[in-house]
Structure formats: C-alpha cells, structure tokens
Chains A and B, each alone.
Chain A
Amino acid sequence: MPETRPVPFRGGGFRPQTRRWVGLVVFAALIALAEWGTRTGWISNLTLPRPSDVLATFGELWESGLLFKHLGPSLSRLAVGAALGASVGISVGVLIGLFSYVRAGLVPLVAALFPIPKIALLPLFVIWFGIDEGSKYALIAFGTFTPTVVATYGAVDNVDRTLIRMGQSFGLGWWSIVRKIVLPGAMPGILSGLRVSLAIAIILLVAAEMLGAEYGIGAYILEAGSLYDLERLFAGVVILSVLGVAVSAAITQIEKRLLNWRN
C-alpha cells in the first residue's frame, strides 16, 4: 500500500486578532514579579519600589486631592497643545497633499523640523511665549504638528485617484471633492498618525512641566526624582502610562465610529 498521510497544514498566521486578556496577563505577571522580588529581597528597595507601596502613595495622592491638582493642569495643557498641533498639522498636511507648490515649499521644511528634539527648543519657546502656559502649549503643539503633517499628506497621497476622477466627472466642486472624497479617504491614515502624535504630546507635556510649573504630572515627577522618592516617581509614571492607554483607547473608539465602513 502506498504511503498515506494528511496534507500538512501550512496556512494561518499573519492575521492579528483581538486577545484582550493577554495584555492584562503580561501586566499582572510583571507587577507580581516585582512585588515578589522586592518582598523576598531578591530585588533591593533601592532598585525598584514595591508595587504595593506605589499603590499606597497613589492612594495618598488621591485622598489629599493632590492628584487632581496635578492632573487638571496637565490635561488642559495636553488638550490645548495637542488640539492646536493636530488641527494645524492636518490642515497643512491636506494642503501639501493637494497643492504642488505647497508641497514643494513645505515638505523640505517639515523634514528639517521633524528630527529636531523639540525639548531642545523649550528655552526658545519660553522667550517667545513666556514661562507660563504659552510656552507649554507651543512645545506640545509643535511636537504634535510635525508627525501629524507627515501622516496626513501621506494619507492624502494614498486616496484612490479614480474616486477623485469620479467626483470630477460628476461635476463636483473642488471643496466638495476635498470634503466628501479626499478627507474621508485619508481618515484612516490621519487617525493612525494621530495615535503617534498624541503619544509624543504626552512625552512633551512632561518635559514642558519640568520647567517652571508648580502643578502638573511633570512637576510632580521631577520633584520626586530630585528627592529619589521612587514610590512617588513611579506613581507619576503610572499616571502617564494610564493617560497614554486612555488616549489610545479614545482613538480606537473614534476609529470604530468613523471607519466602520472598513469591516
């Protein structure tokens, strides 16, 4: 009898699926490891604070009302700066995508601005916009602006040209084509760019608050750091992570609403 066996399976994979709990398990495992290590003395208390202590610090922060005193200004700086940077970035990105002259003029400029660590410009912003909120808004806005521009004009370039020709063939006006064809077509790319931009905005928020801010997560972390108060430092860092996760979740929600036509 000839050799008989099932055809070996070699398909599958390359298709990310939602596995929500895996992320939580990884988080929980790492925290449990740190807790166990610091309790048994395998990790010294100077290397890493004990997670339960960080939690306690967080509790104090909450009860004293200091949490919101720090979080409030930070959130408003983030909101104003990021909204400014993202909206100007999207507008400029669309203009670059649509007009050859704007593209020729601004793409090299954006390429030159992109790699500058924006934090290095903070002193300049302080001179231009003052030590108060102005310089913080400007830093966050500027940092969000460049990645948003790049993502937006890339997304506009990728809009299906046959759809634009279709719009023209029905006699749609320029503004109608931009509003009804180009912008919705570019939306997936713009939103995924926004994900990156907003993470950068959080990084810059902390940087800005490390200079001349009485309240704010950044100021809180800076103070804890200069005292080598690891519990408070970590409490601050955890707040930032939670902020990042929240922003990312918000964008996922927006994508679900705006891009439900994709599947």
Chain B
Amino acid sequence: MAPRGRAHCPGRTRMELRLSKVSHAYGGTEVLRDITLTIPEGRIVCIVGPSGCGKSTLLRMMGGLERPDAGEILQVGAPPEGCLNPLTYVFQDFALLPWRTVAGNISLALEDHRLGRTRQDEIIADVLARTGLSDFAGALPRQLSGGMKQRVAIARALAVNPAVMLLDEPLSALDAQTRELLMDDLIGLWTRAPFTAVYVTHNLAEAVRLGHAIVVLSRRPGAIREVVEIDEPLETRDMSHPDLAAKQQHLWQLMRDEARAADAELAHA
C-alpha cells in the first residue's frame, strides 16, 4: 500500500499550525491567556497542565470546533496530498458509533468523500493492518476492550491521512498496561510514517515518552509556563535514562505547585 506513505518526501508541501496570542473566557471565567505556539510538521507536541487549565479548550480551538475570544490560529502551508481531513481528533472517550462495526466506524470518516468502494475498502484494510485490528473489522464496539476501541479511533484518524492529529488524553480512560501497549503502538506508527500531532495529557510519563516538545500550562487561566524540548529520538527513548528522568522530574516540579493550587481552587469553588 505505497500511496499512503507520507514520510518526508522531498519537495512535498508542509503544513504547520501556528497559534498567536490566543485567549479565551467562558462567561466571566478566563480559561486561556495569551497562548503563542507553533506545531511544527512531523513532530509530536505534548500539552500538559493541571486539570481544568484549558487543555481541551485549546485543542478544540486548534481543530476549529470552537472560536477563541482573541488571537488567531493559522494553518500554514497546504495539507499533504490525499489528505481528507487536515485536522483530525482522537477523543478520550473514543467517540465510536456503537451501532457500526469497526470497519463501519472507519468508513464513516471516508463516506462523504466519494472515493469509490474499492479505494475506501483499501484504506480501511490498510489502517486496520497498521493498528493490528484486521481480525476485528466486523466486531461491534461493545465487544471490544477499551484499548481496542482507542485503536479503532486511531485507525479512523489515520484513515483520513490528517495533516495534524489532535489527541485529547487518548489514553486516560485506559488501564496502565493497556496504556503502555498503546504508547508503543503510537511510537511504532510514528516511526514508520511520522505524523504531526498535538497530544494533550495530564500524565507526565506519557508526555516524556511521546513528546518532541512538551508545553507546560499553568493552572487556570492556562498560560504557557515553559516549553521543554526532548531531542532523544522516540524509538530509542529509555525511561530509565537519567536525562529523561531528570526532564520528567523537572516537569513534575513545574506541575506540582500548579496542580496543588488548582486543586485548592476547585475545592473552594
């Protein structure tokens, strides 16, 4: 299935996402303050921050599901060829249609594009193979474990060949072992065909494992406290390595005070 390979082909147009001075408030509650950030092509940017700091809101804005009060979000460059939906989500609660099979859920994202039956079936077979779901094409979501459901959601996202994947705590509803397996899967997928992604999480271990850059947000109103870059390639990251442990420790220092203060605020509210 060569035509879908989207690794760095020479001369190919690139697309990145640029946020400048994005601020937002719900009613009187300021949620995001002055976020300026670039999501470079082919990299995974993780966004971490205490619960309620506006991570999901920010992600909804990046995908055009919500408008910021101030600032702008720009799509720079053209999406890759064969891209059906440039900005594509993977949701925490999977968002699968319970009345459609695994293959049916993936075809939902393709049907409106009139690709023709064979092309559509090709794409579905390809993404099912890439996510290890080929044997489950005919299963209904209720027959699948949480990890399998999220794999289906990832397959559905891959099917539209997105320019940027927007993942909102995709592993938070899963148990620890499943989380490990899915992280390995994501790293495998990225290594074989690098994609651009914004990955929201409150789990620092996930961020250190998957992020090329980690954006730390302060408690509400969410503002960027620091951006931590990790140069170690994804496929060779060994979490016991002192550098990575130090990075995670540093992130935890940043997060701890914010999380504690945010916790106290929620208790008062």
On A, residues with C-beta under 8 Å from B are 162-163, 165-173, 176, 180-181, 184-185, 259, 261-263
Which residues from B are CB-within-8-Å of A163? 95, 97
Summarize A's interface: helix, strand, loop or mixed. Answer: helix
**Sampled A-B contacts (24; CB under 8 Å):** A162-B91, A162-B93, A162-B95, A165-B95, A166-B89, A166-B91, A169-B89, A170-B85, A170-B88, A170-B108, A170-B160, A171-B84, A171-B85, A171-B112, A172-B108, A172-B112, A180-B97, A180-B108, A184-B97, A259-B99, A261-B98, A261-B140, A261-B142, A262-B142
| Inter-chain contact A168/B112, CB cutoff 8 Å | no
Q: Which of B72-111 contact A (CB under 8 A)?
A: 84-85, 87-89, 91, 93, 95, 97-100, 108-109, 111
- Report Cα–Cα, A182/B237, bound state, in Å: 44
| Residue from B65, B97, B156 with most neighbouring chain A CB atoms (10 Å) | B97
Which residues from A are CB-within-8-Å of B100? 261
B173 → chain A, closest Cβ, in Å? 12
- A170 closest partner in B (C-beta): B109
Summarize B's interface: helix, strand, loop or mixed. Answer: loop
| Inter-chain contact B88/A169, CB cutoff 8 Å | yes
Which residues from B are CB-within-8-Å of A185? 99
- Report Cα–Cα, A181/B95, bound state, in Å: 11
A166 → chain B, closest Cβ, in Å? 4
Is B63 on the interface with A (CB-CB < 8 A)?
yes
| Inter-chain contact B111/A169, CB cutoff 8 Å | no
Which residues from A are CB-within-8-Å of B93? 162
Inter-chain residue pair count (beta carbon < 8 A): 48
- Report Cα–Cα, A181/B21, bound state, in Å: 36
Minimum-distance CB pairs A-B, first 6: A166-B95, A261-B99, A169-B89, A170-B109, A184-B99, A171-B85
Which residues from B are CB-within-8-Å of A172? 108, 112
Which residues from A are CB-within-8-Å of B98? 261-262
| Inter-chain contact A169/B65, CB cutoff 8 Å | yes
- Report Cα–Cα, A259/B84, bound state, in Å: 31
| Residue from A170, A176, A180 with most neighbouring chain B CB atoms (10 Å) | A170
Cβ 8 A contact of A173, one of B85, B87, B112, B140: B112
- A175 closest partner in B (C-beta): B112
| Residue from A166, A168, A172, A262 with most neighbouring chain B CB atoms (10 Å) | A166
A261 → chain B, closest Cβ, in Å? 4
A55 → chain B, closest Cβ, in Å? 45
A162 → chain B, closest Cβ, in Å? 5
- A258 closest partner in B (C-beta): B99
B218 → chain A, closest Cβ, in Å? 27
B63 → chain A, closest Cβ, in Å? 6
Which residues from B are CB-within-8-Å of A166? 89, 91, 95
- Report Cα–Cα, A176/B95, bound state, in Å: 16
Please judge, given known A-B contacts A169-B88, A170-B160, whether A263 and B142 are in contact too, CB under 8 Å.
Answer: yes
Which residues from A are CB-within-8-Å of B111? 176, 180
With A166-B95, A169-B63, A169-B85 known, 19 other A-B pairs at CB within 8 A are: A162-B91, A163-B95, A165-B65, A166-B89, A167-B108, A168-B65, A169-B89, A170-B85, A170-B88, A172-B108, A173-B112, A180-B97, A180-B111, A184-B99, A261-B98, A261-B140, A262-B98, A262-B142, A263-B142
